[in-house]
Chains A and B, each alone.
Chain A
Amino acid sequence: MKHALNRRSLLAATVFATTAFGITFPSAADEKAAAEILKGSGSVVVSTWGGSYVEAQTNVFFKPFTEATGIEVITTGTPDAAKLKLMEQSGNVEWDLLDAEGQMMMMAAKDDLIQKVDYDLIHKIAPADELLTETLNEYGFPSVAFGWALTWNTDKFKGDAAPKNWADFWDVEKFPGRRAVYANPRPLLEVALLADGVPRDKLYPLDVDRAFKKLDEIKPHIDVWVENTGQFDVLLQNSEVDLMLGSLGRSTIAKEKGLPFDYTMNDGLWQQSYWIVPKNAPNAENAMKLIAWMAQAENEAEFVKKYPYGMPNKKSYDLMSDEIKSKIPTSPANLATQAKIEPEWWTENLEAVNRRWLEWYSAR
């Protein structure tokens, strides 16, 4: 909760600063102005997730950034909390910018491994009132928001017979069939509480006892526990299961490919990832410039054409087609039907919950 307060007061301060001095910067519309502000030299090393994802980032964000500012972007291996810790401990930091999950950011901030985001610079490019406040953090700038969604096989459950919420997922008599869930307490605890009737906006602090009790009910009916998100694709392609707690991005792609699957945004969960900068990053200044560049609405609207993930700039949603917007967890319509996963709670309770989860999960 400490972070939330800091974040809010910081935002208030920056909003005050920009209005008080009467400075109104051109919004992202003017890329030339942005390029002028962000001009620099040297390079920035970005640790991100590889594959077609980094390809999209390179084409939409990195290449135009290099052309506009003269700062070279080098992409490298996937973000790893343990590696970051070792790099900082040994004083040999190779990364300038990481595309980290919320929990990784929180833990890194707690361990004093990362530095505060330069919001002064970012707001010159993307003013505070353009950004989705619920995603901003003192130590990280939102990169993408991804979601979890109830997904089902449309051959098995047709039309109105489809499950509508997590209570249906728990109802093995009305919805018989093979089930898969992501084998991780986050978001499983949230899902269990939603199934047990906890309202979406009253999830936190999570009632861990209640969640595990509800999970006990469904445990014998889970056929596949997914360890690695890549496995979702295999399950979808082969119709291995009839219902699942799946990755929104992967379920969307499966449906578009024409596989017999559908999903609902109702009761979905979304989780924010963040750009973070290591404390001793050799090119921290360039990293902040790249963050600011990516915060422009036009760039974000372009990126979601390739990956329908949530973006922090509110204006970017005005530039998206309705079809794309419907797939994004943080678009205005979808925000209303989904719950946000709170990394603050998870960071504070991680150790206790993780131990209990490991015991529960491996007891058979």
Chain B
Amino acid sequence: MNSTATTDGTARGRFRGADWEAQQRRVTVTVLILPVILMTVLFLVPLGYLVWLSFGGPNGPNINSYKQLTAPVYLNLAYFTLQLAFFVTVACAVIAYPLAYLLANIESAISRFMILSLLISLSLSVLARTYSWIIILQRNGVVNDILQGAGLTSQPLSLVYNQTGVYIGMIHILLPYMVMTLYPTMRAIDSSLVRSALSLGATPWTAFRRIYFPLSLSGLVSGSILVFMMAIGFFVTPAILGGGQANTIVMAIQNQVQVLVDLPLAAATSVVLLLVSLLILVVYEKIAGVERIFGKGRR
């Protein structure tokens, strides 16, 4: 035993390698144990509880709550919510893309200042930002004063307490998230790639379309998913700026919890909302490739 162990260098080396790998695994497991416990306790257990509650909770299991959800009113609210989230996401993408491009490609005090302002607006309370839009958009607000003062309109425009107000408010609140996901992706794009394309005879449009845009796509996809998911769950802004003209499914959940105190129904609505979001994520993954979101890209 001694002779083989001491003389056979390769066997010993292999043994050492396995030992090292086992140790690595132990380290990985030890390091991961805390996040796994946290994930389980903070996400999976509550989620399981929510699902259990949606099937009747202590009085279940039954599917009464899910049956109630087939009422047209809930389907309409869900449809409107998805539509709202979709258009807000598209608008955010269209506005954020050129903005992030400028911020990522132009080095100046102004771009640094703009990034700072975006970060500051992210840290402000959504409630305060929502109410400030009322001050700006209301009947006697700044915008209407300017328009009427300049003689552009004779009557105050209805800019808030309707869907217009909700779109303005939600796009404003969610835009920084889109910019902040696009910006690092764009910063990481090697500008020499675009320059090479141009020097090889590509038009600027072709260089953008075939080089820059595909490379920035991962940021756009992750930004869109982030904004869409947040938009689906938005409550304060549609409730306040909508003035009753933009009712979302989340407002129905609030009604179920606070007015009806029907927790199984509220849980069932939440579960369906979650499933719809996941479904959209899956479809999106088929189209855009979800691994891009996590920055793995092609291995």
Contacts and interface: CB of A to CB of B under 8 A. Distances in A.
Contacts of B140: 238-240
A178 B144 CA distance: 16
Contacts of A202: none
A358 interface: yes
Interface residues of B, number: 32
A225 B243 contact: yes
A86 B263 CA distance: 9
B73 interface: yes
A205 to B, nearest CB: 20
B200 interface: no
Interface stretch (A11-19, A43-51, A261-269, A349-357): A349-357
A81 B76 CA distance: 27
A6 interface: no
A178 B162 CA distance: 14
A231 B240 contact: yes
B190 to A, nearest CB: 50
A355 B71 contact: yes
B80 to A, nearest CB: 8
Contacts, number: 73
Contact of B139 (A85, A86, A178, A351): A178
B131 interface: yes
A120 to B, nearest CB: 30
Contacts of B198: none
Contacts of A111: 261
A364 B139 contact: no
A187 to B, nearest CB: 14
A315 to B, nearest CB: 35
Interface in A153-211: 178, 183
Given A238-B141, A358-B255, A362-B73, A223 B261 contact: no
Interface string B248-261: 00011001011111
A105 B138 CA distance: 38
B138 A240 contact: yes
A210 B71 CA distance: 23
Contacts of B131: 234
Given A234-B131, A238-B141, A355-B71, A361 B257 contact: no
Contact of A89 (B58, B158, B255): B58
Contacts of A323: none
Given A178-B139, A234-B131, A359-B72, A227 B258 contact: no
Contacts of A227: 239-240, 242, 244, 251
Interface of A: 80-82, 85-86, 89, 107, 111, 178, 183, 222-228, 231, 234, 238-240, 350-351, 354-355, 358-359, 361-364
Given A224-B161, A227-B239, A240-B161, 8 more contacts: A81-B261, A82-B261, A224-B243, A224-B244, A225-B244, A226-B244, A227-B244, A240-B138
